[in-house]
Amino acid sequence: MQSKIIKELPDLIKNEVISKEVALKIESYYRSKEENAPNKLFVVFGVFGSLLIGLGLILILAHNWDQFSRAIKTIFAFLPLIIGQLFVGYSILKKKSRTWKEASGTFLFFAVGASIALVSQIYHLPGDLSSFLLTWIVLCLPVIYLLKSHVLAILHIVFATYFACESGYGYSSSGSSPWLYILMIALVLPHYYMLLKQNPKANITSLLNWFIPLSATIVLGAFVETNYSIGFLLYMILFGLLYNIGKIPFFYAQQLRRNGYLIIGSIGTIVILLWTSFTWIWEDLIREVVFFSNEFYIAIALFLGALAVLGYSYYKKWMKEFHLFQYVFVLFSMLFFFGFSSETIPTILVNVLLFVLGLITIKIGADRFHFGVLNYGLFIITSLVVCRFFDTNMSFVIRGLLFVTVGFGFFITNYWMLKKQKQILKK
């Protein structure tokens, strides 16, 4: 973008839009900005270079590992850690570039993990994978703030998610909720907040806008120990919370692809509604849900959090127009508890809600001339038709006509909006 502006300067001077003095000031401003800005590609290659060097050293040592004595093995176990600390210390003391800090921080992060693993293997120390991951994450947490490293913040979130999954999912898990995951994510939020204030439109901030809600979505199921049916309610409330965070003007004013909260919240809401649009789901819910359990209290906490975000948005007058998506978690919570008296009524209401959401999304896409939003609305209705294909007794002719109708709807709606957009551009 900056190079394009500089290239346009001679043409602007020629047409007497700006003077030569102004052009020189603009050029010097952007030149100085480019000099001070870190080379993003160089940062990426620096980080990958650190990873490859670390992996190469591990492979070389692994090939001859059995031939070394225990003392030599211990030295090699701590050697990457010492080298990584020296590089990090050099980057801090000499106030090196962003590339140096990110590369050295990444190398130290994996050096810490390698050293812990090697020492445990050499001296046969007991422990499981979840405790190893937790120790690794805690030891590397201060480095995020020492280096102000964005890559380490992402690695922290990724490995905290891995820790939570290892602790809460699967046969090898301890079977308990990974409460320490919440603390791990909370400890990295100050760095994330700093990024939001200083570089809200930076690519790394956009990545964190995706990684944090994705991590929460992946880990939430680890908090469901026995009361599995209430998981539908938990996820619906979580997606409602994420969607309402994404509707806050700070996030909503950004490009849609940068707003992971809004996209994950919206798609997640539709997925849960499609899943619960089947009658047999509500039949299982009636038999299996247990109230006043650990999962039930988590659902209440999430609901209060989502309601607080919604209420604060209303108090700050950010909600200038009605968006049904923002209230779906409230409606679904009411249906969830109502479903215990009858499985038919909540099933019908969920299908109606899905259809209405699809129509509203189509209208929003048409009003804003946004083809992505428009086709997302059409996709919601198509998904609803596909779901009903499997649990209704309609003839194949009627089902075929429904698919043909929806297909024509896709074509006609997109064609109409494209034609209207061209007419507006001509004016």
* 3 state DSSP class of 179: helix
Taking the chain (427 residues) in consecutive chunks of 10 residues, what is each chunk's mean pLDDT?
Answer: 60 70 68 52 59 64 65 83 89 83 87 86 82 92 92 94 86 69 94 91 90 95 79 92 93 89 94 89 68 82 94 86 89 80 82 91 80 84 81 66 68 66 59
pLDDT at 101: 87
pLDDT at 281: 80
Give the separation between CA 229 and CA 212, rounded to whole angstroms: 25
Answering whether pTM is above 0.75, one says yes
What amino acid occupies position 196?
A: L
DSSP code, position 377: H
How buried is 54 (Cβ within 10 angstroms: 0-12 exposed, 13-18 middle, 19+ buried)? buried
pLDDT at 36: 46
Give the separation between CA 153 and CA 144, rounded to whole angstroms: 6
